[in-house]
Structure 1
């Protein structure tokens, strides 16, 4: 019956693995088109709504797929920046226009830790630094509170790992943040930024985003 057929189709996709991902994306895109005769799996809501599809990736695979399908591409540079430049080159050079998009469109993840002073922002940033060290050493857990002098006391291997994993980060006072964001956008040509700030204290996190909003307004007015 219809229910059993739907279950088999979904189970097939779950068990197929990465090799079937391009086919699965195309199939997913079809669910947001008007349903055809005899279509057993239907998106409710979503059917016929032309929901925009993005490819989110942290490797070259996603860049190639987004280019091939003519989809916007979001890259997780806020925690996996190693392949960022190469992925952007592949995506932009191989992009094929589609019904959804006529030219490449890139969103990049960026850590932004803003505070009234550079020193306070760097202190807030130590929470994310600790979280990454804990994760990479097999001790994942909740976001730790900030620690004075954390990076100074780290061993060289941990410092190198953090420098690579969190290289896409802007940390500092408003002026520092503004300069950092401008430099990042100029270097990468990002069309859009996905900003994250894993700050331990909620009030400090809210303040960081408020500072960022003010900086963005100033940059927009100056443009």
Structure 2
């Protein structure tokens, strides 16, 4: 008997996160849809249920200390393990800022969610991932965090995503021996509330994240991808 795959997505009440939940649920995963507020998680879950895709809503504010550990207790009681963690929650696409005149408070706030939030979520949920037969961690990154193509502007977002890429490399190296695959995925410029108009359909951006979440055991780890192809660090 094939066991259900239990997947958790952070920041999933809208945009890319919601679409990732939709695609994973359509693929047969048991999906835990999280948001900073229970009301937002429940509203998004109702929308998917209306499409015939039931998911489990859960409050998870990745910027708050102790939240991942609380979520881990709830997950342990419901499922006993976690197979896929998608670190999608992100803020502060600060296109109006320049590094040479940045508000460091904005940078600090971005790091709290985009880097530390993902990091503390991994630490809190790692015991449940270790209980899985096919654990996967996907960090939703951005080409804006690529040092190879790094330009000016949007400093809080760029620095936070570059740091998330570094975390991806470290985790992949340390967890490889346990069979935990860890990759970063850039969804590209997607038409969402954060990305704005003009981007490609959200389903296309989410597809690469779902690919990384469903890699086979001999799949890559420690990589940075867009549309299943490597992106320069």
Indicate whether the TM-score tops 0.5. Answer: no
Higher helix share: 1
Which TM class, normalised by the smaller chain length?
0.3 to 0.5
Larger radius of gyration: 1
